[in-house]
Amino acid sequence: YDREEHTLRELRIFLRDMCKKLASNKLFFMFTKPVDTEEVPDYPTIIKQPMDLETMMTKVDFHRYECAKDFLNDIELICQNALEYNPARTSADKQIRHRACSLRDYAYTLIKTEMDTDFEEKCQEISKKR
């Protein structure tokens, strides 16, 4: 099996583990599933590109991520969406913004500490060529 496909398979295994770790943290439960537009009808009028951890797990399976950077871009999207949808100075909005920033920092740190730098560089090289 060619070396590049082996590298990308290893990346998918790593990213599924990242998704699982993030989604299993109670702090991030509100980011684990798509926002329910029945419950929150004004959400799609404000947030044009929704993202959540379950959708990210599906994207891993559909080979939509070729490097950790692409994965972290979607984490960034989850975070930005929450900051945009919860701008108020109320404690409710502040807490959700804090959770969103924690998700972002936790994901970056997890990847930085658990992923080999050379491996990510190899993935980015493959991604650039495709």
Ligand X SMILES: CC(=O)c1nc(NC(=O)[C@H]2CNCCN2)sc1-c1cc(O)cc(O)c1
Residues forming contacts to ligand X in the complex (CB under 6 A) are: 30, 35-36, 40, 82, 85-86, 88, 92-93, 96
CB-nearer residue toward ligand X: 7 or 55: 55
- 35 Cβ contact partners less than 8 Å away, ≥ 6 residues apart: 43, 47, 50, 52
Distance of closest approach, residue 43 Cβ to ligand X, in angstroms? 8
Distance of closest approach, residue 122 Cβ to ligand X, in angstroms? 34
DSSP 75-112: HHHHHHHHHHH--SSSHHHHHHHHHHHHHHHHHHHHHH
Distance of closest approach, residue 98 Cβ to ligand X, in angstroms? 12
Question: Nearest residue to ligand X, using CB?
Answer: 30
